Amino acid sequence: MPRYAEEGPMYDRVLVAIDGDEGSETVLDHALTIAENHGAEIYALYVVDRRVYASAFDEGPSSRKDELREEGEDAVGTVKARAAERGLDATTAVRDGDPTKVVPAYADEVDADLLVVGSHGKTPREKVQGLGSVSEAVVKSTDRAVLVVGVGSGRGADRDAGEEADEEADE
């Protein structure tokens, strides 16, 4: 749990969970800024999602797992480089499993004061269809502080895409 000072919570260890998608940059920016402002250690975690590679039919599960592991190594490498640009040292990890379980477990392992995760803003229909939110599951499964950063998709992205389509049609 974070320490508290007169001005509020103080974070010593910030864990950023990234998935390598385009929203990861936004999530990483938040995590690095918090770590920088608090003089905190930064930990980066990428989870090779077992649910994704287990359902790979075209190229096979082991091939997909290798691809995801490579993506993970690239993603945490980016965190390490971006942290270094800000004078921070990042500890990185790539783990295999279900992110809804691995992220909280790793937070316990490193005794993170704050977890920073992204949310794609799933619509209610997407959630009913079984496309639930990892960030929601992480929030529910830990007693640690969690910052959920909205990174697009869902209703807002649909609206933006629709507006862009309308603007293109007007041209």
Please answer whether residues 107 and 15 qualify as being in contact, where contact means their C-beta atoms are separated by less than 8 angstroms: yes
pLDDT value for 170: 42
Instruction: List, for residues 113-141, the tens digit of each pLDDT value.
Output: 999 998 876 555 555 444 457 888 898 98
pLDDT, residue 2, reads 65
Other beta carbons within 10 angstroms of residue 31's beta carbon come to 30
List the one residue out of 29, 72, 26, 25 whose CA is nearest residue 47: 72
User: pTM to 2 decimals?
Assistant: 0.77
**If you average pLDDT over every residue of the chain, what do you get?**
80
Write down the pLDDT at residue 169: 40
Instruction: Spell out the domains of the chain, with CATH numbers in brackets.
Output: 3-170 (3.40.50.620)
Residue 5 burial (10 A CB sphere; 0-12, 13-18, 19+): exposed
Q: In this predicted model, what pLDDT tens digit does every residue of 20-35 receive, in sequence order? A: 777 889 999 999 999 9
- How does pLDDT run across 76-113, given as a tens digit for each residue? 999 999 999 999 999 999 999 999 999 999 999 999 99
Model pLDDT, residue 24:
86
